[in-house]
Structure 1
């Protein structure tokens, strides 16, 4: 099964960078242009300059975001801003954050995982990906020969490996502690004990890994390995390009939180919205919550309660522009099986996002697969409040509010070799970039 090993991580030199909060960032794919500029200004050695360097009008084949990232990565290693650990190790991290009024902690183990094609069934995806993003990431890897951000994956901790690691770190001091922009508290320990490292490797050999976040980066790493194979005469099975840096989280971890990803539609005419509601009544029982009373927010609260009440059923919330009500669409029994039969596998039929994508967006609203990839036609947010606000402000005409899938659903779908629609899961919080990098050169 999965082969995971300790590695010689490249980390910020704490003698030069005392406060890691100045140099870490969220993953590249959730950073806006404004945030990108802010990270640039925050510190001259911020990880943004490596993982998502600025684009300029003068960019060409010899001077572009990828070449500049490569130059910075080399310079920072030469001047001691970044240092490579002398011996291999695993990196155990924690992030403590509030959720639903309580504080929870998630544990993540960072190691070097041997790349496997998805067909092997060892490392499994659960979402489809965008090809444009993969090509952009490949250019960065070719220029820098490094992993700057890790793949977030999930495994089943049947033998209590996480507890063993927790016990171990009680005996050693953390290598790093910092609080990020969201107020989340991070800690990291380096695990170098040879016996424990072997125990981690042996335990993971019995496991499959499920990619939670970072499908683009994983597929890019497979393409990068093939590129190295073709261009490096010294390539063999021990070459660093055979491995990818992963952040591994136990599915049993109470801190492993999935948030929903709500859908937002712009430019939907009032007549189209009205026609949709008429069609939807064939397939859904529709609950209506009036918003024109003394407290319009009460209707949204009622919708929230309905979503929670029916969280084990198929239910989708709906808020529309200039509409004095919001709605809960509860799927009638047998609809998906009747409409799609063997076309959609049973585990996928069990997802609210499949109902939204295939029945609502494609069948009732006429979207095709190309439309689903067009961000000018469909927007996303993991915040229920933001989704409602964006419709109320007129930025969007319709918001479809979802419950999140469960970790168990993700596991079953991945094990079945199936993939969810894009933007199905949002693991919260994202694993930060900048705690440790992985150099892919010997």
Structure 2
């Protein structure tokens, strides 16, 4: 495949010191070779609720992308080898094929009142200290090692990260009929008037459309605009850390200097920010509640889940609050002891970090009160609220539901170089996996 740093001389290098988004030859499913595009897509690898969701996706279509991003075998080495063999076979059999020429891609997701548009491309990698791409969450080394092994074996970016940036308001004389000009947004708004490369609706009700932007002038327009911006990692911290690790393993310049991303301008298309909940596999909810006696206020609240979440939101507006459940009863936990917080929450961070629900959950509850290590056999991180509750009730564990943090808080901490506890936020809608891949084979 083409090296995005050298292949397309027609697209000028960006002039600024910000984001450097390069065109690439997207690898996509050949529609005539699969049952339907919706049947071969998947949520991002860390959103798939295993094993139920994994089995559902595998049975949806023999070519579902989950067989690449979450291969199933008896050992880690066998899993990565299986993914590489599967990808090679799908390419040789014409299930997947690379587009004829490099370009950027405009991607749209919509459902009801929700509309999100952004640009997919190969982003030049930068370290956190360079201030171009801002992480806001910590990562776990085993997860990065797992993703790195998969990317090495497949020599591919199988799913884009979700990054956000914020454009500046433009002067009235610079605005065209589409509301902007000379920017990435202008290209996006022009592009969506054309016929898309593909369109599909996934089972969650989201409509997806993808367009190629191969024209050198439009590519240059996007790149010049983005070169003035920095980005916040909204989703994909472990994959970003994986990109950085793999870049160090290859002599530069090479395709490994870049990683596949979706960039969304949240000034135009605000993302939804949701919480990521915790499932404590080995802690029954009765024991979890008992351990909080004298440390937090604990109240039983009425269901159903929607009503209990409303009460959680009201309590979270006043301070740290959590909703525990697992046996059909909801327990609202709030008003932590100030002395307890002073003993357990590190004091060397900004107040905005110290008062995060995720900080109190990890530093105070998990580390100090419940003494549960942050390991996969102890804690599962689940995006879907109802699924978290259902698994806790079925397995006898404790679901810990938290309220989402505001995007402004996340961005402010990231600009200060302060990372939040991992899996603190869930930005969305997330891009569907399987619509466009990037091969790193040269």
| Equivalence for 2:267 | 252
Among candidates 69, 78, 82, match of residue 96 of structure 2? 82
Question: TM-score, with normalisation over the residues of structure 2?
Answer: 0.82
- Shift, 1:16, TM fit: 3.1
Matches within 5 A, 1:371-390: 371=373, 373-389=374-390
**Matched residue SS, 1:29:** coil
Q: Does 1:25 align with 2:25?
A: no
Among candidates 130, 143, 151, match of residue 133 of structure 1? 143
Q: Does 1:145 align with 2:155?
A: yes
- Shift, 1:197, TM fit: 1.2
| Equivalence for 1:241 | 256
- Shift, 1:337, TM fit: 6.8
| Equivalence for 1:233 | none
For 2:67 and 2:286, how far apart are their aligned partners in 1? 45
Instruction: Kindly provide the CA deviation profile for residues 135-185 of structure 1, in whole angstroms up to 9, marking residues without a partner as x.
Output: 222222222211111111111122564641342124311110111122221
Q: Does 1:416 align with 2:416?
A: yes
**Matched residue SS, 1:278:** coil
| Equivalence for 1:106 | 116
- Shift, 1:254, TM fit: 4.4
Q: Does 1:66 align with 2:80?
A: yes
- Shift, 1:193, TM fit: 2.5
**Matched residue SS, 2:400:** strand
- Shift, 1:68, TM fit: 3.1
Instruction: Name the count of aligned residue pairs.
Output: 411
| Equivalence for 2:25 | 8
The answer to whether the 8 Å contact 2:285/2:324 transfers is no
| Cα gap change, 1:41 to 1:274, in 2 (>3 Å) | closer
Among candidates 65, 68, 73, match of residue 55 of structure 1? 73
The answer to whether the 8 Å contact 1:319/1:388 transfers is no
| Equivalence for 1:46 | 64
| Equivalence for 1:427 | 427
Among candidates 166, 173, 196, match of residue 174 of structure 1? 196
- Shift, 1:309, TM fit: 3.3
Question: TM-score, with normalisation over the residues of structure 1?
Answer: 0.82
Deviates more, 1:20-29 or 1:197-206: 20-29
| Cα gap change, 1:262 to 1:137, in 2 (>3 Å) | closer
- Shift, 1:389, TM fit: 4.8
The answer to whether the 8 Å contact 1:336/1:349 transfers is no
Among candidates 118, 123, 142, match of residue 133 of structure 2? 123
Q: Does 1:360 align with 2:376?
A: no
Q: Does 1:156 align with 2:166?
A: yes
The answer to whether the 8 Å contact 1:104/1:255 transfers is no
| Cα gap change, 1:327 to 1:2, in 2 (>3 Å) | same
- Shift, 1:434, TM fit: 1.1
Instruction: Kindly provide the CA deviation profile for residues 47-82 of structure 1, in whole angstroms up to 9, marking residues without a partner as x.
Output: 23332222147x8x6xx3323332333333334332
**Matched residue SS, 1:279:** coil
**Matched residue SS, 2:110:** strand
Runs of at least 5 residues in structure 2 that lack an aligned partner in the other structure: 1-17, 170-179
Deviates more, 1:2-11 or 1:332-341: 332-341
**Matched residue SS, 1:276:** coil
| Equivalence for 2:441 | 441
- Shift, 1:394, TM fit: 6.3
For 2:159 and 2:306, how far apart are their aligned partners in 1? 38
Matches within 5 A, 1:233-312: 236-237=252-253, 239-254=254-269, 256-265=271-280, 266-268=282-284, 270=286, 273-281=289-297, 288-291=299-302, 297=304, 303-312=308-317
- Shift, 1:325, TM fit: 6.4
For 1:107 and 1:413, how far apart are their aligned partners in 2? 25
Runs of at least 5 residues in structure 1 that lack an aligned partner in the other structure: 230-235
| Cα gap change, 1:22 to 1:389, in 2 (>3 Å) | closer
For 1:401 and 1:171, how far apart are their aligned partners in 2? 41
| Cα gap change, 1:2 to 1:302, in 2 (>3 Å) | same
For 2:311 and 2:57, how far apart are their aligned partners in 1? 40
**Matched residue SS, 2:432:** coil
The answer to whether the 8 Å contact 2:326/2:389 transfers is no
- Shift, 1:381, TM fit: 3.2
Q: Does 1:318 align with 2:323?
A: yes
The answer to whether the 8 Å contact 1:134/1:216 transfers is yes
Q: Does 1:227 align with 2:249?
A: yes
**Matched residue SS, 2:375:** coil
The answer to whether the 8 Å contact 2:295/2:336 transfers is no
